[in-house]
Structure 1
Amino acid sequence: MDIAKSEPTPGIIQPNLPQHRDLYYGGAWHPASGDRRSEVTSPSTGLSLGQVAHADAADVNAAVAAARAGFKVWRDVHPNERAKILRQIAQIVRDNALELAAIDAVDCGNPVKVMLGDADTAAAQLDFFAGLVTEMKGASIPMGRGAINFSIREPIGVVAKILPFNHPFMFVAGKSAAALAAGNAVIVKPPEQAPLSALRLAELVEGLLPAGVFNVLPGGREAGAAIASHPQIAMVSLIGSVPTGRAVMQAASATVKPLLLELGGKNALIAFADADPMEVARAMAAGMNFTWCGQSCGSTSRAFVHSSIYEQVLALIPDVCGNFRPGNPLDMATTMGALASRQQYERVLDFIASAKSEGARLICGGEVPADAQLADGCFVPPTVFADVDPQMRIAREEIFGPVLSVMPWSEEAAMIETVNAVDYGLTCSIWTNDLDAAHRTAVAVEAGYVWVNEVSKHFLGAPFGGVKQSGLGREECLGELLAYTQEKNIHIRIRPQASTAKTPERHQS
């Protein structure tokens, strides 16, 4: 059944799906090579959302050629003019926020209400980087009176963005902002599971940027591999899993291109004995991002709770998690959506089964919803396991689903060692009223982004990124803008002024 042909339901927002389903590059729409197409389905219903062009290596070549031509125009546009255009795009995003949110809701499964927040975030990132265009500064180096030496920053060229399924539109629009502000052309490969909002954005901004500056190539692994290895793509930015990051690094190594990688996380929430149990319980739920089914690299999916408040916190968890109930993502009242695909759904259920078989104590969730209206969707309720051993699968591997592991601790050094024992290092949330403990722990944990008495939130201007296998580089800050530039040094020798004094005439005696 095609969702576009289904009957409207009162109280449910109807998505306005994009009209164009082809590849967008060079300022125009193109069929995929061999007219290849793939089916897109809604994870909340299993209904078809129609077909979308499926790019291959030949399409990547064509898009890169168009992007290189666009880059040669865009790099010479005055930075303040580039900023003006980015602000226009930000306003377009705000004006169409509900429409874009509904597309993502039906396409990736997240509730439309929180997808409205994603549109706001994307617009804010566009405005933020528009405001930084004059900060692409070089430096001068003292050389004495005989020379001038200085550096300038130039855009790097064609930048490719390979993006995931958890926040499709926010990543397509917001994560393109820094690269565009710096003067680069951008090729976006939206998630294979949820490409529709990227195509709709291309429709909305068509004609605003020079042809070839913003390009959208829906596709799968073949397109991603072709992008990563392409000799005329100057830089690749990826948000995705660690295995995908490794594959992109390997492919990019052939052309020694720089990378910006935001990869997986198995992040810790640490609660000290003096923390308020209710605050901790609420933070555990908020940090898990249950609204979008825990599908976030930054989710704090391991909670280390001091043994003195451990059982108090666990007793509060069912009620706190009860605020997140799976439902139709297009209903503004829905507080928890669906997992993005059937494959991801089966993977999460497998992790839950393994936790049960390994002896973890189930606190809430753990079973698919009984509601018949949700039977065809990829719904899993908030699932919390206690008494988790650090060697269990759910404590070691990134699930990317609504499954939280809770562990008691009593000895700080041993707890820190366990927190740092995984290969990931993206975020960490610390809960305590002890300033010394907060500082000590923030320094000790191996993570790139640390909250104290806060969780989940991002702050524009604050560098976001991971350590270890959670990624390379920092985003959402000036450093991200500069990452899309290359520094060029210029040395000028100043010739000494030629003498203008006249030679005195000789007189014969």
Structure 2
Amino acid sequence: MTADRRRDLLIDLADSVHEHLGQLAELNVHDYAVPVSYAGTAVMLEQFLRHFAGYADKPHGSSTPVSGSFDLNFVEREPYGVVAVLAPWNGSLAVTASCVAPALAAGNAVILKPSELAPLAALRFGELCIQAGLPAGLVNVVPAAAEGGDALVRHPGIGKIWFTGGGQTARAVIQAAATNLTPVVAELGGKSANIVFADADIGSAAALSAHQGPLMQAGQSCACASRLLIHESVYDEFVDKFLEAIGGAKVGDPFDPMVSVGPVISEASATRIVAVVEKATRDGAGELLTGGSRMGGELTKGYYVEPTVFGDVDNNSELAQTETFGPVVSLMRFSADDDAVRIANDTPYGLNAFMHTNDLTQAHRVARQLDAGSVWINQNSRISPQGPYGGYKQSGFGRTGGIDGLHEFQQVKNIRIGMR
């Protein structure tokens, strides 16, 4: 297919997604109970499709002279062929946006495997691909559990694999892909630090941190800012405003547009999260400031866990080092910038880092010292198609977004023609 035709089809698909934004957002709620007020990944899908449609006819190669010769030497970028995209339950549309859009723009076909826990929005996207005029078989949505995922990544017809999920599963994917030496890109979990400096707007920092921490998706996000590092001079003020922001959040039916916190994904998750809180309390990891239990009243029968905050947490504790994947956050004090950077980097993860400061020099200096693929200053994580997104350390490798995201789905070929 010519580049202009590929570009136009992606624009048509973006138009179709735009027409069905409400439906896709509703399916997101059905998939994993994210509150409809947060179910904006359908908009993200449209944005990524439009952005990468513009790249379809602009994947410029290059030419270069070679030593001791006047040969014509040029570099091209070609698709892998068939790309497998394995999406997690907590963001099938987000992964569809950040992976399927550039894979198609680069000229690949895609097999999208959503989680068996959340297949609905991805399936609807597959229908929209057909309705928008994409050739049958170009985008394939294959719901499957672990056996299906294992068969997919072992298939010799797969040119490249994109996996988003946890580290344990990533290791299994990489081992299975090694059967055919299929390259793998992995976007994994995080234990993100959120640094609040003394000069920050404390009210704004508290509100943003509450959202990025225990409230958004009930903490079930790889971008969850679960370790808050607060300068000792503003610690008490911040805690008061942080707890106030959390206490003012409405918990309940995720279809209610006023609700900020819905249930977690399953009974097993709710039980596991409460067990983490109970163990942290027994171990003396920190002071339990709020939450820590299942929700009562009319929410008793649901998978609802109270937004939970521990204060004065030991960064060496299991609570601070292990990804909880629930509405549980740890607060810690620091006294100097070097302490904040040391604590922030003292984790095996490195996906995101956050900071709140009005000192531009400090923001630049500290951002460059943080071991994280993305650093967000005075704002929450706002993944855009223009910016690369991915992790350091055990948070994975590879990038989505921007030219780096396009290049993940292209192979590089060098062609040299002898000139006599």
For the aligned pair, the TM-score class normalised by the smaller chain equals over 0.9
The AA in structure 2 aligned to 1:407 is: M
- State how 1:194-205 maps to structure 2 within 5 Å: 194-205=118-129
Q: Among 71, 96, 102, which residue is 1:172 paired with?
A: 96
Structure 2 equivalent of residue 414 of structure 1:
339
Secondary structure of the structure 2 residue equivalent to 1:293:
helix
Q: TM-score, with normalisation over the residues of structure 1?
A: 0.79
Alignment check: 8 A CA contact 2:214 2:328 kept: no
- Report the secondary structure of 1:463's partner residue: coil
Q: Distance in 1 between matches of 2:10 and 2:332?
A: 46
Aligned mates of 2:92, 2:384 — CA distance in 1: 19
Counterpart contact for 1:286–1:456, Cα < 8 Å: no
Shift of 1:161: 0.5
The residue number in structure 1 matching 2:10 is: 86
Give the match for residue 46 of structure 2. 123
- Contact residue 106 and residue 330 of structure 1 kept, 8 A: no
Name which of 107, 127, 135 aligns with 2:31.
107
- What is the number of equivalent residue pairs in this alignment? 417
Output one character per residue of 1:87-112: Cα deviation in whole Å (capped at 9) or x when no partner: 11111111111111111212211112
Superposed, 1:328-477 pairs within 5 Å as 328-359=253-284, 360-372=286-298, 374-477=299-402
Name whichever of 175-184 and 430-439 sits farther off: 430-439
Bigger drift between 223-232 and 301-310 goes to: 223-232
**1:498-509 alignment, distance < 5 Å:** none
> Residue 112 of structure 1 aligns to a residue in which SS?
coil
Q: Contact between 2:84 and 2:162, CA under 8 Å: does it hold in 1?
A: yes
Asked if structure 2 preserves the Cα contact closer than 8 Å seen for 1:165 and 1:193, the reply is yes
Corresponding residue for 1:141? 64
- 5 Å-filtered alignment, 1:174-323, equals 174-206=98-130, 208-288=133-213, 290-323=215-248
Q: Which amino acid aligns with 2:65?
A: P
The answer on whether the counterparts of 1:292 and 1:336 sit within 8 Å (CA) in structure 2 is yes
Deviations 1:457-497 (A, max 9, x none): 223311111100101111111111111111111111233xx
Distance 2:65 2:181 in 1: 32
The answer to whether the 8 Å contact 2:44/2:97 transfers is: no
Cα distance in 2, alignment partners of residues 181 and 288 from structure 1: 34
Q: Is the 8 A contact 1:294 1:401 kept in 2?
A: yes
Q: SS of 1:404's equivalent?
A: strand
Contact 1:298–1:427 (Cα < 8 Å) also in 2: yes
Looking at structure 1, the residues matched to 178 and 85 of structure 2 have their Cα atoms a distance apart, in angstroms, of 17
Structure 2 counterpart of 1:186, one-letter code? V
Greater shift after overlay, 85-94 or 144-153?
144-153
Aligned partner of residue 81 in structure 1, secondary structure: helix
- Taking the aligned partners of 1:323 and 1:139, their CA distance within structure 2 comes to 56
Given that 2:44 and 2:384 are in contact with CA atoms closer than 8 Å, whether structure 1 keeps it comes out as no
Q: Is the 8 A contact 2:214 2:308 kept in 1?
A: no
Q: For each residue in 1:195-220, what CA deviation from the matched residue of structure 2 results, as whole angstroms up to 9, or x when unmatched?
A: 11112222233252222111111111
Q: Which amino acid in the other structure matches residue 419 of structure 2?
A: I
Question: C-alpha deviations, 1:123-160, integer Å up to 9, x for none?
Answer: 00111110111331211011487421111111111100
Note the C-alpha offset of 1:239: 0.9
Give 1:412 shift.
3.1
Is 2:166–2:189's contact at 8 Å kept on the other side of the alignment?
Answer: yes
Give the conservation status (yes or no) of the 8 Å contact 1:338–1:380. yes
Given that 1:326 and 1:380 are in contact with CA atoms closer than 8 Å, whether structure 2 keeps it comes out as: no
The one-letter code of the counterpart of 2:348 is: D
Q: Distance in 2 between matches of 1:279 and 1:173?
A: 29
Letter in 2 for 1:399: T
In structure 2, C-alpha distance between the alignment counterparts of 1:265 and 1:335, rounded to whole Å: 22
* Other structure's SS at 2:415 match: strand
2-side partners of 1:323 and 1:464: how far apart? 31
TM-score (norm 2): 0.95
1:312-367 CA distance string (max 9 Å, x none):
11111222112322211222232221212222222211111122222321222222
Cα separation, partners in 2 of 1:335 and 1:286, compared to 1, 3 Å: closer
For the aligned residue pairs, the C-alpha RMSD in angstroms reads 1.7
- CA–CA separation in structure 1 for the residues paired with 2:266 and 2:95: 18
CA–CA separation in structure 2 for the residues paired with 1:202 and 1:321: 37
Between 1:290-299 and 1:303-312, the stretch displaced more is 290-299
Q: Report 1:7-26 matches (<5 A).
A: none
Which has the higher Rg, Structure 1 or Structure 2? Answer: 1
Is the contact between residue 357 and residue 378 of structure 2 (CA under 8 Å) also seen in structure 1? yes
The whole-number CA distance in structure 1 between the counterparts of 2:305 and 2:15 is 35
Q: For residue 370 of structure 1, what is the amino acid of its counterpart?
A: G
How far is the alpha carbon of 1:173 from its aligned partner? 4.5
Report the counterpart of residue 412 of structure 2 in structure 1. Answer: 487
Output one character per residue of 1:428-455: Cα deviation in whole Å (capped at 9) or x when no partner.
1122223332222112211111122222
- 8 Å contact from structure 2 (residues 106, 410) kept in 1: yes
Given that 2:214 and 2:326 are in contact with CA atoms closer than 8 Å, whether structure 1 keeps it comes out as no
Query: After the TM superposition, which parts of structure 1 deviate over 6 Å for at least 4 consecutive aligned residues?
Result: none
Moved more, 77-86 or 281-290: 281-290
1:324–1:382: 8 Å Cα contact kept in structure 2?
A: no
CA contact (8 A) 1:293 1:382 kept: yes
